[in-house]
Amino acid sequence: MKKGAKDSTNPTITVNRKARYDYNLRDRYEAGVVLQGTEVKAIRAGRLNLTDSYAQVTDGEVFLIDAHIGPYEHGNIANHEPKRKRKLLLNRREITKLERSIRSKGMTIVPTRAYFSNGKVKLELAVAMGKRFYDKRDKIERDSAANELRAYN
């Protein structure tokens, strides 16, 4: 499938574009998300924001922190809290691998994409290492040089 083409089996909800800019992404994992009440309806309405969110391993469980799911418009007093901590569903081997990989300095777990799979909300997680400012500047320079070469050819 072409890059950027829509996949009808897994429609993308949102992509965390800032993650690719701020981090070098390594291993990727698929995780389910434990949601409550009106959160799925709010996600279907496009109110999920993964910018500045991350995942954390605590006591053998993985949690999504700082992901913002806006309130559902037609919800009532039992509407969900927008920035609550959400549990992620991974199997034991994947959690162990994640724990091992983030022990090294500068590594973190970042959600890169959210999508529907068989009606369930799934997250793509990536083990990532933060880029430094000069790394970002070098990448921008290389990309612009490549674009100029493509324009001349």
Decide if pLDDT at 9 tops 80: no
Strand partners, 15: 113
| Residue 93 binned pLDDT confidence (cut-offs 50, 70, 90) | very high
pLDDT given for residue 31 in this prediction: 94
**Phi then psi for 24, rounded to 5 degrees?**
-90, 115
Q: What is the DSSP letter of 89?
A: E
| Residue whose C-alpha is closest to residue 115's, from 23, 1, 3, 16 | 16
- pLDDT per position as a tens digit, 46-91: 888 998 899 999 999 999 999 988 887 776 666 767 788 999 999 9
Is residue 124 within 8 Å of residue 16, measured between CB atoms?
no
pLDDT given for residue 12 in this prediction: 85
Set out the domains of the chain in order of their start, with CATH numbers.
12-152 (2.40.280.10)
Percent of the chain with pLDDT over 90: 34
Percent of the chain with pLDDT over 70: 90
Strand partners, 125: 29, 111
Reported as type and span, the H/E element at residue 19 is helix 17-22
Pairwise pLDDT comparison (87 vs 141), residue with the higher score = 87
The CA–CA distances, whole Å, from 66 to 3, 36, 39, 55 equal 28, 16, 15, 9
Arithmetic mean of pLDDT over the chain: 84
Highest averaged pLDDT of the listed ranges 5-14, 53-62, 125-134: 53-62
Burial class (CB in 10 A: 0-12, 13-18, 19+), 50: buried
pLDDT given for residue 34 in this prediction: 93
pLDDT given for residue 94 in this prediction: 94
Decide if pLDDT at 8 tops 80: no
Contacts of residue 77, Cβ cutoff 8 Å, sequence gap at least 6: none
